[in-house]
Structures are given as structure tokens and as C-alpha cells.
Structure 1
């Protein structure tokens, strides 16, 4: 199963898809999700999920980005159907977002009439521009210009409370993630949908979903540095594998609980 590009999206198509996953990555790694999130997304493809990963470039207007990625996703679905690569009939659609990708899925689910079987929101954060963009704070631009995300953090919260329509949600945070704001989002969504919102805390950091291939080459003599490298590689894969299993179980509750 190889990556294919359709309408600017990167797509994995298993032989018999059981559902569709729309993936949105973090702000600074979202331009090439088929590379930065390859291990996670290819795992989902092997589990039978048709993966559509939509690249985007971060700007201050997050509402506009949300609209653009949704349109790109829907264009790709239509293109797959026209080419006979996606069978006719109903397949559930799940949104998966990491970091800024969570905010985009929340905006999509609040501002547009989409049909989603559920969303998986990983490492959510909703910071103001001055906190999320170091250069803005360093240059003190907020005092001279109106530099803020659209919608702002408060506006985003209000939009979600007023309009978020995706009932089933899995929220994942990592124990060593210092910029995560998942607990506040969990509380907010549980007010909307009570028992339909599930939260998990896993080992790892904000970068765990990116768990890249680590090719640690040892020399002819195995040194203490090689031992450290092998241990680090095992820890990265262990944390990523735990994330994979939690996602897989939530998507398919009949699978074994990690």
C-alpha cells in the first residue's frame, strides 16, 4: 500500500476500507503529514482505514484553514468515488488531529454541517498568538499590531460550546507534554456529550505521534552510547505503539484493550 496524491491530499487506500480517517497534523509539521506522521498513518492504513491526510500551512486565520482543509478533503472523496477507488455506500468518517489539527477538527465540527462518526483529538492546545508564536512575544508586536489567531482562544471556546456537533470523542494527552490543554477541552466536551467523551493519558511527549524511524547504526564494538541509542529507540517505539493501540481500540472496540 503506497501513498497517492489526490487534490493536494496524501491518501492510503486499503483493499477493503472499513472506515475513512481524515488526519490533520500540528502547525509546523502539517505540510508533509505523509512523512512526519508516516508510522502512525501507515499503521491505520494496515488496519483497514482509508487515510486522507490534508497538508496545510499555518496562518493566523484558523477558521479559513479549517474551511480549506474540509473542502480539500471533500474534493478528494469525490475524486476517489469518480475513479472507482472508493466503493459506493456508507463508510464512517473519523477525524484525527494532533495539536493544531485538533483545533481545526473542532472548528470543522462546529462551523460546518459535517457527518462524523467521531473525532480523536491528540495533544490539544489553544494558545493565543503571543504564547504560540515566540517571535510575536519577542518583538512585542501585540502592542503595535492586532496579532491574534482567528478565532481567538476565547472565541474558539465559545464556538465549540455553541456549535460542536460530533458526539463521540477520544481525547489523548501525554504525561510529559508541557503545552497540552486537553483537560480543559475534556471538561468542556463532557458538558456537551457526557458519556460520549473519553480521555486517556499516555506516556510520551508532544512529539510522540511523530515517532519517526530511528536508524541507530552501531559500530563493530558495542559502546555505552550504542546502549543509550537502543534504549531511546525502544522507548520512542513503545510510546508510539501504545498510542496506536489506544486509537485502534477506540475505533474498533472489539479489538483487544491495551
Structure 2
């Protein structure tokens, strides 16, 4: 079955398979989230092939993550309501959030700001570093300019909000084995303080950019480099397929389980 074509609705990239069983609201990582239908195409179309409608909201990262989460939520809601008005989706479809890196933090902040309508969230390669750690040049410039710059909310405040206010009970966290900037262990501690029975995590093969799944050039003209490229691409493809299957299988299990009331 051919993958449906992408369409743009209120700046959201939308993928609608025939008779979707659920909706995935996708948010990508900082600096690669501006065109998720391009940077995450293989992952999102893989979910579409498994029967999930996809609404991917692009964003440009800022220091004010609280406001950014509000803006992303409003953008998504416009697209969702337009799809409802056009009769392209049913209001009965369950909704899952799927986020990568910075996108995971935004899903968490949205879940802290209000009671959520999500059946669950899948949080890939969660990252919650300070502004100085995330932007190395900032660590050099801030002292010289005698300014203090930090994300809002700060990393510590983000974890406190999750413990106190987060409203999505069912969560799957994915940590990749070769990801040196992942902070899933901190997040699973906060989530299990909030929802000790319904927060799961997986450790999968790959690195921080595995959900992006971009391949290396296949034809360079150098036999040895082409061979390395093909081998690396097959490895990337296997890792991405495992991630896609893990997300789809977990969401399928939530669809058959009783909804958790917060």
C-alpha cells in the first residue's frame, strides 16, 4: 500500500492514512524541527504505514520553552480542528504525543500546563540540559557580557513541574545506547514519582539522531566508501525500524488497555 502524500494545514505537516486508528502529534528536536516531514520522513511515514495519522508541528527553538510549548499546542489544535471540520478524522480517535529530544520536553510542558487529552506520550532521547551546555558558545559569551541566560523553565524546574503537574499517565521513554546527551534516567525518576505504575522505558540500539534516520550518500565513486555508506545505511535502517515498531506496538497496546484517569 502506497504511503499517503503529505499536506500542510495551518503550517502543520499532516499525513493521513486510510481509516486511521489513532493520531500521532509529533515534535522534533531543536534545530531540526522546522521541517519534520523532511527530517523525520522515514519515521513518520513508517507510523503512517502502521495506521497512524500524523500531525507534525514545526517550530524554531527559543529560550522560552514555556511560551514555545503554548505556541506549538495552539498550532497543533488549529490543524486538528480543521481536520475535524473537513471530516478527515474522527473526534473519537485516540491521540498520542511523540517527541524527540527537545520535542519530548515540549510534550512534557504541554502536559504540565493543562489536563491533557493524550492517551499517552512516547518520549525519545529526552534532553534537558542547561542553555550553556546545549549551546557551548553561550558559555563563553555570557560571562564576558556579564549576563545570565537560561532556558525557561530551567532543567531543575522542568523536573519539578513534571513531578507536580504532569497530566499524561501513560508514557514510553526510549533511550539509545550510544547517546551521550540523553537524560532519560532523570526523566523516568520524575515520571515514576508522578505515575509509578504506568511509565515504561526501553533501551534500544542507536544514537541521538537515530529517529532522524538520514542515510549517507550511496554513490560517491569510491568503492570502499560506497561499501561503508551502504553498510551504515543498512544499520541506520534497522535501528530506525526497531524504533518505529516499538512506538507503534506500544501505542497499539494502549489502544486496547483501559484509559487511565488522572
TM-score, normalisation: structure 1: 0.93
Q: SS of the counterpart of 2:174?
A: strand
Matched residues in 2 for 1:217 and 1:210: separation?
A: 21
Aligned in 2, Cα 1:110/1:76: closer, same or farther, shift over 3 Å?
Answer: same
Matched residues in 1 for 2:227 and 2:118: separation?
A: 45
Where does residue 206 of structure 2 map in the other structure?
A: 204
Q: SS of the counterpart of 1:67?
A: helix
Where does residue 128 of structure 1 map in the other structure?
A: 130
Residue-by-residue CA offset, 1:159-191 (whole Å, 9 max, x unaligned): 111100101000001010000000111121112
Report how far residue 213 of structure 1 moved: 4.2
Residue-by-residue CA offset, 1:62-88 (whole Å, 9 max, x unaligned): 00010001111111111111112123x
Q: 2:140 aligns with which of 114, 138, 141?
A: 138
Where does residue 9 of structure 1 map in the other structure?
A: 12
Return 5+ residue gaps in structure 2 as ranges.
Answer: 255-262
After TM superposition, list the pairs within 5 Å mapping 1:82-101 onto structure 2.
Answer: 82-87=85-90, 89-101=91-103
Matched residues in 2 for 1:125 and 1:213: separation?
A: 23
Deviates more, 1:111-120 or 1:224-233: 224-233
Where does residue 170 of structure 1 map in the other structure?
A: 172
Q: SS of the counterpart of 1:237?
A: helix
TM-score, normalisation: structure 2: 0.92
Matched residues in 1 for 2:48 and 2:69: separation?
A: 24
Matched residues in 2 for 1:81 and 1:210: separation?
A: 29
Matched residues in 2 for 1:218 and 1:8: separation?
A: 36
Where does residue 253 of structure 1 map in the other structure?
A: 253
Q: SS of the counterpart of 1:139?
A: helix
Q: 1:31 aligns with which of 28, 31, 34?
A: 34
Q: 2:189 aligns with which of 163, 187, 190?
A: 187
After TM superposition, list the pairs within 5 Å mapping 1:231-246 onto structure 2.
Answer: 231-246=231-246
Matched residues in 1 for 2:59 and 2:225: separation?
A: 38
Where does residue 50 of structure 1 map in the other structure?
A: 53
Deviates more, 1:205-214 or 1:37-46: 205-214
Matched residues in 2 for 1:141 and 1:80: separation?
A: 48
Matched residues in 2 for 1:155 and 1:7: separation?
A: 32
Matched residues in 1 for 2:107 and 2:144: separation?
A: 27
Q: 1:156 aligns with which of 134, 154, 158?
A: 158
Q: 1:19 aligns with which of 11, 18, 22?
A: 22
Matched residues in 2 for 1:41 and 1:104: separation?
A: 18
Return 5+ residue gaps in structure 1 as ranges.
Answer: none
Report how far residue 142 of structure 1 moved: 8.0
Q: SS of the counterpart of 2:195?
A: helix
Matched residues in 2 for 1:140 and 1:165: separation?
A: 35
Matched residues in 2 for 1:77 and 1:227: separation?
A: 44
Q: SS of the counterpart of 1:238?
A: helix
Residue-by-residue CA offset, 1:60-115 (whole Å, 9 max, x unaligned): 0000010001111111111111112123x411110000000011000000112221
Q: SS of the counterpart of 1:212?
A: coil
Q: Would you identify which runs of 4 or more consecutive aligned residues in structure 1 move more than 4 Å?
A: none
Matched residues in 1 for 2:216 and 2:228: separation?
A: 13
1:226 aligns with 2:226: yes
Task: Report the count of equivalent residues.
Answer: 252
Matched residues in 1 for 2:9 and 2:109: separation?
A: 23
